[in-house]
């Protein structure tokens, strides 16, 4: 079943309650939280998200996307809010197995995020341990960017690579109703979408148009 995760990176933080309420009134499956440290990517969003507050405002599963250096050092912070999923990047990370084990040991699903220019074969040694691959369809760092078309081929390749492993493919960046159909046809399981959903005057119609065409 295809699922949708809404990124709230560019939502209206002055009206967070109503922004989350808007999401609560849809069948959107997850809330995607983009944590950036100002090192792995330029922007720093560590103080932007009040994770306890967000957890209290919604029953939706939280999907944490860490764009940070040395994720092993600060994963505990995110484990503590008991999200559904934590994804960290494969790039600049020499402690991948340790990150996987730490997240899994708390019963939280684990994903590896991979940038548009990183070789998918690097995922191979980890596929048997993880629940999800977060395929970046933009270079991480900000919302509202244009979807990179070569993502389509990468989804196909990843579907082949993942073989019989029970791993979900999630796609993140520039996802809207003009690329969602193809992404789902090629085997994506979860569509992460930020500005298309949150900046639409009708989030319900926008959500439906991601899944039905």
Contact status: 34 vs ligand DX5 (CB under 6 A): yes
| Least separation in angstroms between CB 164 and Zn ion | 27
Catalytically active residues are 34, 172
Is 20 or 175 the residue whose CB approaches ligand DX5 more closely?
175
Q: Which residue is nearest to Zn ion (CB)?
A: 65
Comparing CA positions, the residue from 44, 45, 124, 39 lying closest to residue 90 is 124
| Runs of H (alpha helix) within the chain | 16-24, 51-57, 71-79, 96-105, 151-162, 180-185, 195-198, 203-211
Phi, psi of 38 (to 5 degrees): 75, 5
Q: Summarize as ranges the residues that interact with Zn ion (CB under 5 A).
A: 34, 65, 172
Is 11 or 130 the residue whose CB approaches ligand DX5 more closely?
11
Is 116 or 141 the residue whose CB approaches ligand DX5 more closely?
141
| Least separation in angstroms between CB 42 and ligand DX5 | 10
Provide the β-strand partners of residue 203: none
User: For 74, what's the count of Cα atoms within 13 Å in the CB-facing half-sphere?
Assistant: 14
> Of these partners, Zn ion, ligand DX5, none, which one is at the site of residue 184 (CB under 5 to 8 Å by kind)?
none
* Burial per residue of 104-132, b for 16 or more beta-carbon CB atoms within 10 angstroms, e otherwise: eeeebbbbbbbeeeeebeebeebbeebbb
| Least separation in angstroms between CB 105 and ligand DX5 | 25
Contact status: 65 vs ligand DX5 (CB under 6 A): yes
How far out from the chain centre does Cα 174 lie?
12
What does the binding site for ligand DX5 look like in residue numbers (CB under 6 A)? 7, 9, 32, 34, 65, 138, 140-145, 172-175, 192-196
């Amino acid at each position: 079943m295809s699922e949708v995760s809404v990124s709230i990176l560019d939502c209206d933080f002055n009206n967070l309650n109503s922004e989350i309420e808007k999401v609560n009134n849809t069948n959107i499956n997850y809330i995607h939280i983009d944590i950036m440290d100002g090192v792995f990517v330029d922007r720093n969003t560590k103080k932007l998200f009040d994770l306890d507050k967000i957890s209290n405002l919604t029953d939706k599963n939280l999907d944490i996307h860490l764009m940070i250096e040395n994720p092993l050092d600060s994963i505990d912070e995110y484990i503590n809010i008991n999200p559904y999923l934590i994804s960290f990047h494969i790039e600049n990370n020499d402690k991948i197995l340790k990150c996987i084990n730490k997240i899994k040991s708390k019963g939280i699903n684990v994903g590896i995020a991979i940038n548009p220019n990183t070789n998918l074969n690097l995922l191979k040694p980890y596929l048997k341990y993880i629940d999800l691959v977060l395929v970046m369809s933009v270079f991480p760092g900000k919302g509202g960017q244009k979807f990179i078309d070569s993502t389509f081929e990468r989804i196909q390749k990843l579907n082949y690579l993942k073989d019989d492993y029970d791993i979900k493919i999630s796609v993140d960046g520039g996802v809207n109703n003009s690329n969602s159909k193809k992404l789902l046809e090629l085997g994506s399981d979860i569509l992460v979408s930020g500005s298309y959903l949150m900046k639409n005057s009708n989030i319900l119609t926008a959500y439906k148009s991601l899944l039905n065409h």
